[in-house]
Chains A and B, each alone.
Chain A
Amino acid sequence: MNDAVRSREVRAELEVTERPVIDKTMTAEEACRLVSDGDHVAIGGTCYSRSPMALVFGLLRAERRHIAVSRPLSCYEIELLLASGTADRIVTSWVGIGLRWGLPRVLRHYVEHGLAVYEEWSHLAIGLRYKAGAMGVPFLPGLSMLGSDLARAVQLKTVTCPYTGDQVAALPALNPDVALIHVHRADRHGNSQVDGYWHMDADMARAARKVVVSAEQIVPDDEIKRRPWTTMLPHFAVDAVVEAPFGAYPAECYGLYEADFAHFDHYVEQVRQGGADGARKYVDENVRAHADFAAFLREVGDERLAALGEGARRLMPA
């Protein structure tokens, strides 16, 4: 598997990369120029939690081709990337929105017709693959996926522990070309802070060759030092910083806003009626019709966003 060779290459590359402490703020569209055709792009968050939607919309605008996408659990953004012609390979453990929205129809169309490849790993396997990438080692041992057809389908190898003789799964490092991550706060240099669960973002970003962070808020440098224990990524592991309030919408951002289920209902209905064309229509109407993510949010409306904020506050510890 090529991934194993790659862990040495990305380490060597990082050693000779200058990492000056400079202002890295830019627009989502500028940041997405870091993505080239054929790249592997890891998308932070999981399912509809802290998804970097402002950046995904930026990537859709960039109109790249033959992108491979990885994510722990994938939501409707994967379908947008498939239907728009951006991605043709996905590496994940699950695709859907949630039980009430049924099977992902666009994914089904692309995979069942051989138009895209779904490389399925277990949820922990994806996590250990990013972690191996983040640790700079070619693989990590793990105890799941063994015996399953998942293992056969991805030609998972096992290794023998040199100390005990135990057979364990060898999960190959995954070092994405670019990671797209959404956080609560960042400073202009890239120090990035997250409240609540981190999903797999810390490992995913550290494994990646380039990291784009979008933040609810760009804060003054001193603000970061007030809560250093919430810093998930240090400045030297971040290449671009994009200010994006409500940048995870329609996904949630812990403590700030809940996911907008009505928006997913609307998307699923559009796909139910039009299949992949329904997803392309969604991209036309919600991404291409607007100059940027802020313009899309204006159409969503302040009232709706405020209600999602209220929902989130109700769920926070007193």
Chain B
Amino acid sequence: MSGAASRPSDATPEEVMAVTASRLLADDRVVFAGVGMPLLASALARRRQAPNLTVVLEGGIIGTHLLPGHLPVSTNEMRAAFGAEMLTDVTDIFLFAQRGFFDYGFLGAAQVDMFGNINTSLIGSPAHPAVRLPGSGGANDIISLCNETYIVTVHEPRRLVSRVDFVTSPGYLDGGDSRLESGLVFGRLGGVITDLALMDFEPESRRMRLQALQAGVTVAAVQAQTGFELIVPDHLDALPPPSDEELEILRDLAGGPGSLASVAAPAAALRTGG
């Protein structure tokens, strides 16, 4: 890799993640999206390669369209319901997932480990938490029940850790067949998208593996920002930087440059220090 930054100078880390995530979503599928980055990535995909991608939100909303400049900050509000094809109850949405209708799950994460387990519950012990975090919400259900789940997070050593303090939402648990053996017989992890790289999971050990690098990023730079040793394959793809068109659509959705961070900012809002 060359060290030259080919990322357009004005693309923010949030925009790079949203674009990378959006490109993974194929047309004619159903995506169960978390609010913020996952929802934006899904909306971008609909405007590009996947016009018939159905976006589902846990607030009981199927087939949401977004009103540019009026992005929701939760999955349970009128802004999230704009242009929906069906409004139902929350439990019903998850039961569609349990039945197997949802091709993709899409989650943000405060902390994810080498097996793709997510912690959004607590730091320390359950009986005496040092830091109490908001909780699972639907994340545990999404990663347990959707056919293929992707995780979006900012690439920092305190976010990509060797072992989470608490498994709120199960990835591959202890690796190998442990997910299957726990009774989670459905669903797999598609990958982890960050501002530095795209990662997947090695099929035997189920450990996180580098798959492709963001434009201008080196393996050493990714490893330095990761709290455990990544598996690095012989061949690595380079991810094309966000195109002008992709950035234009994202900024239109967010209501202007710079607005993205306020509606899709796992980086700032989920800081474990409070």
A residues apposed to B, CB below 8 Å: 46-49, 72-73, 92-96, 98-105, 107-108, 111-112, 114, 118, 120-125, 127-128, 130-131, 142-150, 152-153, 158, 167-169, 196-203, 252, 254-255, 258-259, 261, 312, 314-317
In contact, B274 and A102 (Cβ under 8 angstroms): yes
Which residue on B lies nearest to A105, using beta carbons? Answer: B274
Contact check, A150 vs B60: say whether CB atoms are below 8 A apart: no
Q: List 28 A-B contacts (CB under 8 A).
A: A48-B76, A48-B77, A73-B137, A94-B136, A95-B134, A98-B73, A102-B271, A104-B134, A105-B274, A108-B274, A111-B132, A123-B58, A124-B94, A125-B140, A127-B89, A127-B91, A127-B94, A146-B144, A146-B170, A147-B144, A148-B140, A152-B126, A196-B81, A197-B76, A199-B60, A199-B89, A200-B90, A315-B70
Q: Is the CB of B129 within 8 A of A123?
A: no
Cα-based distance from A167 to B270 in the complex (angstroms): 34
Instruction: Identify the B interface with A (CB < 8 A).
Output: 35-36, 58-61, 67, 70, 73-74, 76-79, 81-83, 87-91, 94-95, 97-98, 121, 126, 128-141, 144-145, 166-170, 173, 178-179, 182-184, 186, 262-266, 269-271, 274
Residues of chain A within 8 A (CB-CB) of B135 are 92-95, 118, 120
Establish whether residues A93 and B81, one from each chain, have CB atoms under 8 Å apart when the complex forms. no
Q: How far is it, in angstroms, between the C-alpha of A149 and the C-alpha of B125 when the chains are bound? A: 11
Closest to B182 in A: A147
Which A residues are CB-close (under 8 A) to B87? 196-197
Partner of A93, one of B95, B136, B166: B136
Q: Assess whether A123 is in contact with B182, with CB atoms less than 8 Å apart.
A: no
B141 near A123 (CB under 8 angstroms)?
Answer: yes
**Which of B79, B88, B263 meets A198, CB within 8 Å?**
B88
Q: B211: shortest Cβ distance to chain A, in Å?
A: 25
Interface of B is mostly: loop
CA distance A255 to B78 in the complex (A): 8
Q: Are A146 and B184 in contact (CB under 8 A)?
A: yes
Of all chain A residues, the one with the shortest Cβ separation from B172 is A147
* Interfacial chain B residues near A93, Cβ < 8 Å: 135-138, 140
Closest beta carbon of chain A to B68's beta carbon, Å:
13
Q: Which residues of A contact B58 (CB under 8 A)?
A: 123
Contact B265 A167 (CB under 8 A): no
Chain A residues whose CB sits within 8 angstroms of the CB of B169 once the complex forms: 148
B-side contacts of A92, CB under 8 Å: 135
Please state if B186 and A143 are interface contacts (CB–CB under 8 Å): yes
